[in-house]
Structure 1
Amino acid sequence: MPSRRDCANAIRALAIDAIEKARSGHPGAPLGMADMAEALWRHGFRHNPADPAWPDRDRFVLSNGHASMLLYAVLHLTGYDLSMEEIKNFRQWGSRTPGHPERGLTPGVEMTTGPLGQGIASAVGMALAEALLAARFNTAEHTVVDHRTYAFCGEGCLMEGVSHEACALAAAWALGKLTVLFDANGVSIDGKVDAWFCEDVGRRYAAYGWQVIGPVDGHDGAALDAALAEARADTKRPALIICRTHIGFGSPKKDSSASHGAPLGEEAATATRRALGWTAAPFEIPDDIRAAWDARARGKALEDAWQDTFAAYAAAHPQLAAEFRRRMAGGLPDDWPQIVSRLMAAAMAGDKAEATRVASRKALEVLVPAVPELVGGSADLSGSVGTQTAASVPLDTASYSGNYLYYGVREFGMGAIMNGLAIHGGFIPYAGTFMAFSDQARNALRLSAIMGLRVVWVLTHDSIGVGEDGATHQPVEQIPTLRMIPNLHVWRPCDDVETAVAWRSALESAATPTCLALSRQKLPQLPRDEAQVAAIARGGYVLRECAGEPELILMATGSETALAVEAAVTLGARGRRVRVVSLPCAEVFDAQDAAWRESVLPSAVRCRLAVEAAAPSWWRKYVGLDGEIIGMEGFGVSAPGAVLFERFGFTADNVTARALALLERFGAAAGR
């Protein structure tokens, strides 16, 4: 029987081999955290390598994602579908072992990590998901949800502000099944951290309300076992285990930043193997060590026992079991078509001007009671952004009932926690803040797009229409820069009906996050026929047609759409043929077939004018080099919203004048 250190050294050896072969990577953390990984993964971690999606598995997040070879080595050794060839192809094109862990690419990787701090923060969301699901589905006779969430992190994660935001909430929400193992090695890329990271981390986490264990020797298996047992025993407080370790353990570069982000080099790698007593050839694992790591039999037994429990549960509670299966699979309720019918009926009944943030709340009044997996929230702006409904129940940590979270003023933490809820499964998280503050959470939003998570952001106060709050609260660049993020849908609806369709799209887009850009000011309800209502779902459509072939296309989104319609009416009265195109979601429109896009924006019509109260350059892709854009060239100012729209040229009269000038220019060019 190999020793625990031998088993940990298998991780170290694979990390050295893969990083040396790739000539790229981070050996220091895998060498330093190998004993921590051995203690967790071989002593109590509940998982089944043959079924990485088993619903009641423990969750693991490597928050310091640069230590990816630690995780890949563990997944390979325990029996996941990650071959030695993939280990050898570390950081190479087409491999399942990228430089940082990526969800959906490598079996057993729960979350894409790399931006430090977000892994811990999303682990909070995963732990919350477990608590909420346990309260919803467990019964007195049957426990079908009972697992833990673990995260590894380093000093860098704890320096990042997002870890502060989320970890404070973890304590407030009493997430006792969350355990974070802190790799306290005292070194980062710039060297010894004591000059810039000198706080007492343990006291900080104790102040949050966490259970703080240690410091313990992070290379002592027995000490780590005891710490993990202590963490598991406290069911009311999340636990931080402070593990004193040596970065680059066993190498000549131990305790030095030189081991952090570059291969050890052949000479140092050989010396490390010698110091560890590791005699196997590169990429070879002795049979006894491989057998000691193999978790497939134990994992199968654990899942089989759970399946037996779930079968008895399903027999006793078939409706609960069916809902659990559906939610964990990511499917919408069976009566989704009927829910959509009610959603659209409520939207089309509106006949008065109102803000699209109000229209969004009206949509949620239909959706929240009908879609139980919706979990809402806000960064201290519930009333302003309209995310709290009559069916919203604030979280009660005594019973873990509720479907609404008060995140406080923590936009970044909110975004990362929403990601965690979505990653875990069983929930569709949505939450709101002002659009100008989306920048605070941008990296969490970017990660949700990379991972393909169904997360919905309600971003209100979407333009200079905010008014008196001034430039700090008036988004100008946010809408176009959000549109630049791949795999993100940005909907900017113009009225109740477009808002309802945006919500429908957000919930039906199972692998894409959505941002809803919503107005503070009231907007008129625009007329449409049934075909136009159906066309909204295609992201862009003809809202107002002219008689005959159009000579000008006006394009707009959100609050500026009504201005385009009004200008088109005026221009039509002057005998000009003007089509109005509403483009509430460019990403969805761009994904349509070429025939649809051509039918909406015929290439023969080059005379085009776009209107949007945002930075204009993004629109060039639609208006071409010859068209024009009415947009915001600078920041806004403090004044009533109506005054700002007039001063910055967002009026029907200005749109009309600019359109006439453009038509004259095109006419003159044609005459020449």
Structure 2
Amino acid sequence: LKPIDHFTYTFLGDGCLMEGVSHEACSFAGTHGLGKLICFYDQNGISIDGEITNWFTDNTLQRFESYGWQVLEVDGHNVEETLEAIRTAQQDVERPTLICCKTIIGFGSPNKSGTSGVHGAALGEDEVKKTRDELGWEHEPFHIPDDIKSEWECKDEGAKLNVSWDQLMMEYSKKHPKSFDELTRVINNELPINFENSYRDFINELSAGDQKDLATRKASELCLNYFCEKLPELIGGSADLTGSNNTFSSVSTEMLPDNPKGNHIFYGVREFGMTAMTNGMVLHGGIKPYSGTFLVFMDYARNAVRLAALMKIPNIFVYTHDSIGLGEDGPTHQPIEQLVTLRATPNLNNWRPADIIETAVSWKEAICSKDTPHTLILSRQNLPFIERSKGQIEMIEKGGYLLSSDDKADITLISSGSEVKLIIEAAKTIAKEGLKANVVSMPCLDKFVSQDKAYRDSIINPEIPKLVVEALHPNSWHCLVNLNDVVIGMETFGESAPGDELMNEFGFTVNNIVTQAKKLTAK
């Protein structure tokens, strides 16, 4: 019995095959022999600017054969040829299939068929009439004749297939009750029974454990050891940076062409393709993918990240090496503006945790999400563990919370990720000089600003100055600060040097925070 056993069909055009992501995805599909993938290529030779022979002259057949695909060519207007090609494609389950359907765009239009004039514009009344005459179409607009409707309508056949499916699942549930229950759970995107209790125990173990002062990318790996064991639907992967992104857990196994049952995918250097593929996995259901690369390389995947947010699918993106703190790799690898772009994206929650506890909460938020994708923005360098009360741990999920507070505070210090340790130390320093500070960790600005005003004001007092510290571009923070407040951030590209030296050079130091706090409070 195979409860999941189907083909996947996609439709694409000339423009799709010009896009670089088509190479990323199709090369990967060929390498892994994804024989259940069947693609229809509408090969009409026209894009918006006109005939593509002036900008797209690839030999598509040879291109896809070089990927290891089966390639079939048909007259896209011939139904029987197309049906025969589908049958041939279905018989070869060792290779994905590209069915090249040679078509004429705007078929039947006397003056516009085969031209870009019909690509994205209406025919117009006169041309519609001429097209009707050309095709011998005598029926009223939007009227579908019964003989044509009966050819295309598949309600009865669909009902039979659905009954057959229900019977298969009923038989499967009887023969494999545990597997059936687990399949039902993951398809419904539900958590296992007692997961919440298990998670609380995990948080307590982390708080009491001896692995605390860690880079948050390493903390993420420790969290994955727990989450991947509890949730077999988690399927990991990285764009050729597995060891750097720490996406391979203690229970991960390698998914390779000769081992398709593995749960960690090596995507190669394909950030866009990787992100698009994981979007597809979420849309399919029953799989909860996560994928990793450096934060700066998110730019390559940007469109697929945006689509995840637009489609309201809870994909998980792991982005490590999150600031100039990564060091010698220099400005080509040091992200500056990327987090601003992510935070500006509607329906996308971006977590930049300060230690292992915030990392665990970030992972739980991502895993429990129903319709919002999440990014986890993680450090390369080690970060110190932050002591918290049970109540403070419970507040992390709100996106921002107080680490320390004073009813008579003169200033609020706010930070995320690797800079939280700096504002904690700065608060201690200015306290010796008579300044009282509220200290706020803001692992998820997106989540915090979605809280009600009463909660936001209880964490960030609107009546006193605010000083924000984050080693990334400062524009994200204008939703919290006013013109009199200060954001210590990055408004230039970084440099190639050890991370500690760069932090010092660009002002991410306790001394600079103290200096700016004194100026803000005029004390």
Fold similarity call, TM over 0.5:
yes
The answer to whether the Cα contact below 8 Å between 1:350 and 1:525 also exists between their aligned partners in 2 is no
Q: By how many angstroms is 1:508 displaced?
A: 0.8
Pairing 1:511–2:371 present: yes
Deviation string, structure 1 residues 411-469 (Cα, Å, up to 9, x no partner): 00000000011010001110111101000100000000001111111100000001101
CA contact (8 A) 2:412 2:461 kept: no
- Structure 2, unmatched stretches of 5+, are none
In structure 1, C-alpha distance between the alignment counterparts of 2:153 and 2:296, rounded to whole Å: 50
Q: Judge conservation of contact 1:350–1:496 (CA < 8 Å) in 2.
A: no
Q: Residue 509 of structure 2 corresponds to which residue in structure 1?
A: 651
- Structure 2 length as normaliser, TM-score? 0.98
Which of these residues, 223, 226, 229, is aligned with residue 81 of structure 2?
223
CA shift at 1:399, angstroms?
5.5
Q: How does 1:469-548 map to 2 (within 5 A)?
A: 469-546=329-406, 548=407
Q: Which amino acid aligns with 1:335?
A: N
Report whether the alignment pairs 1:394 with 2:254.
Answer: yes
Query: Mapping of 1:364-375 within 5 angstroms?
Result: 364-375=224-235
1:554-586 deviations in whole A, cap 9, x for unaligned?
Answer: 110001111011000111121211001111101
Shift of 1:240: 0.3
Q: Does 1:182 align with 2:41?
A: yes
Higher mean C-alpha deviation, range 358-367 or range 387-396 = 387-396
Q: Which residue of 1 aligns with 2:490?
A: 632
1:562 aligns with 2:421: yes
Partner residue, 2:467:
609
- Cα deviation, residue 587, structure 1: 1.3
CA contact (8 A) 2:206 2:212 kept: no
Of 389, 402, 410, the match for 1:551: 410
In the TM superposition, what is the alpha-carbon distance from 1:588 to its structure 2 partner? 1.1
The CA deviation string for residues 343-364 of structure 1, in whole angstroms up to 9 with x for no partner, is 3134322464211001100100
Q: Report the counterpart of residue 18 of structure 2 in structure 1.
A: 159
Corresponding residue to 2:186 among 318, 322, 327 = 327
Q: How does 1:330-341 map to 2 (within 5 A)?
A: 330-341=189-200
Could you say which residue in structure 2 is the equivalent of 1:453?
313
Match of 1:239 in 2: 97
SS in 1 for 2:126: helix
Q: Distance in 2 between matches of 1:339 and 1:269?
A: 65
**Correspondence for 2:3:** 144
Residue among 53, 59, 72 paired with 1:200: 59
Taking a change above 3 Å as real, the CA distance of residues 251 and 343 of structure 1, as seen in their structure-2 partners, is farther
Equivalent position SS for 1:580:
strand
Counterpart secondary structure, 1:472: coil
Distance 1:662 1:320 in 2: 61
- Pairing partner for 2:436 from 577, 580, 588: 577
C-alpha separation in 1, matches of 2:179 and 2:102? 45
> Cα deviations across residues 106-149 of structure 1 (Å, max 9, x unaligned)?
xxxxxxxxxxxxxxxxxxxxxxxxxxxxxxxxxxxx22222111
Quick one: which amino acid aligns to residue 397 of structure 2?
A
Query: 1:347·1:363 contact (CA, 8 Å) conserved in 2?
Result: no
Counterpart of 2:164 in structure 1 is 305
Instruction: Report deviation, 1:287.
Output: 2.4
Partners of 1:564 and 1:580 within 8 A in 2: yes
Paired with 1:343 and 1:154, the residues of 2 have a C-alpha distance of 49
SS at match of 1:448: helix
Contact 1:342 1:366 in 2 (8 A): no
Tell me what 1:84 maps to: none
1:356 aligns with 2:202: no
Letter in 2 for 1:652: V
The alpha-carbon distance between structure 1 residues 646 and 229, as it changes in their structure 2 partners (threshold 3 A), is same
CA distance in 1, matches of 2:353, 2:199: 17
The residue number in structure 2 matching 1:91 is: none
Q: In structure 2, do the counterparts of structure 1 residues 399 and 633 end up closer, same or farther at CA, with 3 Å as the change threshold?
A: closer
Note the C-alpha offset of 1:397: 3.9
2:311 partner amino acid? M
Contact 1:343/1:367 (<8 A) preserved:
no
Contact 1:339 1:366 in 2 (8 A): no
Q: Is the 8 A contact 2:212 2:356 kept in 1?
A: no
Structure 2 CA distance for aligned equivalents of residues 180 and 433 of structure 1: 28
| SS of residue in 2 equivalent to 1:470 | coil
1:38-57 alignment, distance < 5 Å: none
> Are the equivalent residues in 2 in contact too, given 1:339–1:367 (CA < 8 A)?
no
Does residue 409 (structure 1) correspond to residue 283 (structure 2)? The answer is no
Runs of 4+ in 1 over 6 A off after TM superposition: none
Report the Cα distance in structure 2 between the residues aligned to 1:612 and 1:257, rounded to whole angstroms. Answer: 49
Is the counterpart of residue 432 in structure 1 residue 292 in structure 2?
yes
What is the rounded CA distance, in whole Å, between the counterparts of 1:377 and 1:347 in structure 2? 24
Could you say if the C-alpha distance between residues 575 and 189 of structure 1 is closer, same or farther in structure 2, counting changes exceeding 3 Å?
A: same
Matched with 1:19 is none
Structure 1 contact 501–536 (Cα < 8 Å) conserved: yes
**Separation in structure 1 between the aligned mates of residue 501 and residue 192 of structure 2, nearest angstrom:** 45
| DSSP-derived class of the 1:473 partner | coil
Partner Cα separation in structure 1 for residue 143 and residue 45 of structure 2: 32
- Is the CA contact 2:316–2:373 (under 8 Å) kept in the aligned structure 1? yes
* 1:52-67 map, 5 Å: none
Which amino acid in the other structure matches residue 244 of structure 1? K
Helix, strand or coil at the partner of 1:183? strand
Q: Distance in 2 between matches of 1:298 and 1:197?
A: 41
> Structure 1: how far apart are the matches of 2:249 and 2:210?
18
Give the aligned CA root-mean-square deviation in angstroms: 1.2
> In structure 1, what is the equivalent of residue 120 of structure 2?
261
CA distance in 1, matches of 2:246, 2:201: 19
Matches of 1:397 and 1:633, distance apart in 2 = 44
Task: Determine the C-alpha separation between the residues in 1 that align with 2:257 and 2:335.
Answer: 36
Tell me which of 261, 265, 277 is aligned to 2:136.
277
